[in-house]
Amino acid sequence: MPRKSPRSRRTPGRKVRVPGTARHRVTPGRGRAAARARTRATAREAQAGHAAARAKRPAVARRPVARRAAALRPASRRPVAARPAAIRTSSRARFAPPDPARVAALLGRLERLYPDAKCALDHRDPFELLIATILSAQCTDARVNQVTPSLFARYPEAAAFAGATQEELEDMIHSTGFFRNKARAIRECCADIVTRFGGSVPRTLEELTSLRGVGRKTANVVLGNAYGIPGLVVDTHVTRLSNRLGLTRERDAVKIELALMPIVPRGRWTQFSHWLILHGRSVCIARKPRCSRCPLLPDCPRFGVTASE
């Protein structure tokens, strides 16, 4: 049988394709236009899906992504407010506990500087010291010492304070400042002492801090100075000096107390607080410490000090 040429095999009437012209597709959905439409539809669906998923995701889960994106951004385009937080975190992470030999040298110098350091609030017993300490908040010790003699003459015990009226107590302590809050705290604290402790000031930190208006600082003052039970008092001076001396990087009073406990020998806790308070008042003052005449200078890293005398 003779071989037919390709031209002769073509179906009669079928259009011959001219090279360079678009090919006619008969199968639906297989052409380039259909493929483009499919791609567009898929992209739309994906976009809608992402948006729905984003809306459902909790805010917390999105945060790390935002942080990663912020970290990848060039430093010059990062928000200014974000930078100090990063600096603070890294400086805290770098803090190492102080060298015990340096701490021992500091304690020795402080002891020689303030051999007679003691509580500056006049008192005859734990109860008077408790009331005087409540009054000393935001007030000088000298002012409190002017007020307390007449106060204790009129109200000699907890029951007398608990029975006093708010107005008459406010009048008596007016000059110490914040007299309304202080009068309320004293009355409520004394009512607690009478009803729960039989009129005697308790001897433990837990019991003392359970009294209304009494915090850790007041409790440690009473324990250390009236009962002889060691207690670290953390006030504004102790906070500032323990940071400058490189003993801690904490700013919170309770965290500072916990940080100092393993560094300072327990038997010196009460004295250590007195030493730092006295040194903070006379030499290491808040605004411009007198470093050039400070005996602690050889052992002080002067952390955070930007200007000094």
Q: Which residues bind ligand SF4 (CB under 6 A)?
A: 244-245, 283-284, 289-291, 294, 296-297, 300, 302, 305, 308
In this structure, is the dihedral angle defined by the CA atoms of residues 129, 134, 139 and 143, taken in order, positive or negative?
A: negative
- DSSP track, 205-234: HHHHHTSTT--HHHHHHHHHHHS-------
Q: What angle do CA 257, 181, 225 make, to 5 degrees?
A: 40
Closer residue to ligand SF4 (CB): 182 or 244: 244
Between CA 231 and CA 220 the distance in angstroms is 5
How far is residue 102 from each of residues 105, 121, 246, 298, 301, measured CA to CA in Å? 5, 31, 10, 10, 10
Give min distance, CB of 234 to ligand SF4, in A.
Answer: 17
Between CA 97 and CA 90 the distance in angstroms is 15
Between CA 19 and CA 297 the distance in angstroms is 94
Among residues 4, 56, 192, 235, the one annotated as catalytic is 235
Give min distance, CB of 236 to ligand SF4, in A.
Answer: 14
How far is residue 55 from each of residues 28, 49, 52, 59, measured CA to CA in Å? 37, 10, 5, 9
Between CA 284 and CA 278 the distance in angstroms is 9
Does the annotation mark 235 as catalytic? yes
Give the number of other CB atoms < 10 A from CB of residue 200: 13
Closer residue to ligand SF4 (CB): 55 or 101: 101
Give min distance, CB of 141 to ligand SF4, in A.
Answer: 21
Closer residue to ligand SF4 (CB): 127 or 275: 275
Give min distance, CB of 178 to ligand SF4, in A.
Answer: 29
Closer residue to ligand SF4 (CB): 99 or 125: 99
Residue 128 contacts residue 157 (beta carbons within 8 Å): no
Give min distance, CB of 199 to ligand SF4, in A.
Answer: 43
Among residues 99, 118, 182, 217, the one annotated as catalytic is 217
Closer residue to ligand SF4 (CB): 134 or 283: 283
Give min distance, CB of 305 to ligand SF4, in A.
Answer: 5
Q: Burial of 30 by CB count in 10 Å (0-12 exposed, 13-18 middle, 19+ buried)?
A: exposed
Between CA 205 and CA 20 the distance in angstroms is 96
Closer residue to ligand SF4 (CB): 147 or 297: 297
Give catalytic residues, as residue numbers.
217, 235
